[in-house]
A and B are shown apart, each in its own frame.
Chain A
Amino acid sequence: MTAFGVAARWLHLAAGLGLVGLVTATLLVGRRDRPTVLAWEARMLRGARALAGLVLVTGLATLAHQSAVVTGRAGAALEIGEWTRLLGHSQFGTVWLVRHGVLLLLAALLLLREREESVADRLALRGEAWLLAGVGAAAMAWAGHAAAVEGVGLPVAMIDALHLVAAGAWLGALLPLAALLRAAARAEGADARPFAVLAVRAFSRLALTLMILLVATGLANTWFQVGSVPALIGTSYGWLLLAKVALLIPVLLLAQHNRRRLLPRLGGDGDAVGRPAMARLGRFVAAEAGLGLLILLLTTGLSLSPPAVHDPVWWPFSQRYAWDVAAALPGGSTRVLIGVQITFLGLLATVVGLLLRSWRVILVGAGGLAVGAGLWVALPPMTVDAYPTTFLRSSVPYHVVSVASGAALFRTHCVTCHGEGGRGDGPGGAGLPRLPADLTAPHTAQHTAGDMFWWLAHGIPAGGMPPFGAVLSEEERWDLINFIRTLAAGEQARQMTALVPPGRPWLVAPDLAIVVGPAPPRSLKDLRDRWMTLLVVFTLPESRARLVQLAEAYNTLQALGTEVVAVPRGDGSDIIRRLGGRPPILYPVITDGAADIATTYALLGRGFGPARLSPREAPPLHVEFLVDRQGYIRARWLPGAPGPSWDTLPTLVGQIQLIDKETPAGPAPDEHVH
């Protein structure tokens, strides 16, 4: 079924773009009354009719294939009912109908008996055919990946539409021009030769514009569908795209050869000079078209693959280069910048050398050396070990359920070596070749969540860490990583006070479900954009006075755009009854899943001061977190801690107003750890 789908879409794409190019070629040749040109025109009209037929037939085949893909049954490919359902209820269907309506109109136009009585008739026929073929090709963008880009679907689809039309006008015109050159290169084709030369020159100018357009729109498409270098290198979509670019290089070299060498030699009319060059150019142009068909095959593969931005990335190399790593080293960023500048100068010298004739060897040689030296300077500080999963994104969101599950797994599998507090001081770690890592150390750019995922599965042989791939499922490994990130973030959060600091927020609030009795659960994330949140982790009876104070201030806090969410430490099923109704406490009090929230936020609510004082410090009885509208924890309050206190309500209100007034400095946090 896949082979059928690829074949159908490939032929459909090739025929659709071919129609655009074929009409472009006839427009370039213009109105000529020489027999050879007329014969060529007649052939082109027959060709256009055949292509229109092919595009309609393969269009039906793509519809059949899509029906099978959508329903997951091969049999659905031939069920008319499924076709009508697909056509009536999907964007693919709407675009298909519009496109095939336009293509049918084009087919009807091409079947008209041509009576070219005037220039106006001729132009009207060709102009209309070009317009319909162009719309037929451009509209494909609305049924592909481009239209699915979130938020900017329309502009991205328009860029893709431009890419498609430009590709059609360029690739599709190659074979018709090759046919014209072949006809004109024959002994009896002398009458067509001057027109063939003019047409090829006009095409050469047009092709340059089209190529710039194709590269620009192609880069934009890559930005939206791939988005990063790892995604380009580590996904099947990226590989197909690289193969497409690799195929484009010989096409461009061939085009450059044709333009530079063969085009000037066409001018000489006569058997000796013009004809052999013309025949050769015809063959080369046909070869370009052949490569173009292969490029379209790869494009079909791209359209059927998930875009790289949504696909897991498998990094094929044992190293990677990252600016962040260099920036973290003393003097690293300076070294990289110097190296980059040397590389740039080297590239500049190489390009200038290629353009000049007299100094070419020296300039290119020196440029090459400078590029090498620049890379030698710039790359080492940016180099860091990498693994196949380095750029893999977590499949488990940063949620308290995952962190709490990770905490349990940590106690089972990791404490022996990494120690109860995760500081690498467990008894089992003493005899290892390398001391176990201190997992509470600040997260560095040195390793990604994907690196940790790899170490958890495969171990670190040099350090003596065993592999857990057979013991822990993928989900459990991500749970552990979520826990470790919270552990490290919590260590940094020790410095967080009750005052909102200026600058970029950094501490992400792990998501949680707000469940109050039988009411449908909301999540902390649901409150984003609308509410700030005062998350109160409490213990009875110690916290009662504070909870009552918050209940009395609840109206004020709500008026300031702040929701209060109270989380009991331990079992919450009976907590509302235990809080009692005098005075009534009406903000959400979590009744289910409170233990996971308390476990996770206890990690972020540890006391001030140096980290290593007590490895087994007890979780705080009462701690409050102020979460901004983006989902970052901005301040926290531990009763009894030195400094400003939120139990004087104006202090809390002041912090809320501070957050309320600011404009977000960056994007909302990602749902997953990195």
Chain B
Amino acid sequence: MAQQTIAGKTVEVTDEGYLQDYSQWNEEIAKELAKEEGIELTEDHFKVLRFLREKYEEGANLTIRKVGKSGITDIKGFYNLFPGGPLKKSSKIAGIPKPTSCV
């Protein structure tokens, strides 16, 4: 656990760079975190990020399948938006904890 300054705001992050407190998140932080993953965020990305945050708040166990059924994007689209690990990368950028699901 460490403190890190992202987009001018000091936040607590885990060893793997996930925000400790999802309420410290804002869109500027998201853009900065995305840049580290080599992703330039668009409105399509933000739609997914907002969906993930909403579901996380509801206490849902997040899976790729849930995102695929969200109506925001399909699974292929999700992989295209966040290549090389869509659920982990999008969760990190959305400021929510590392996903624990195997699917």
Q: Do they bind each other?
A: no
Residue ranges of A at the interface with B (Cβ–Cβ < 8 Å): none
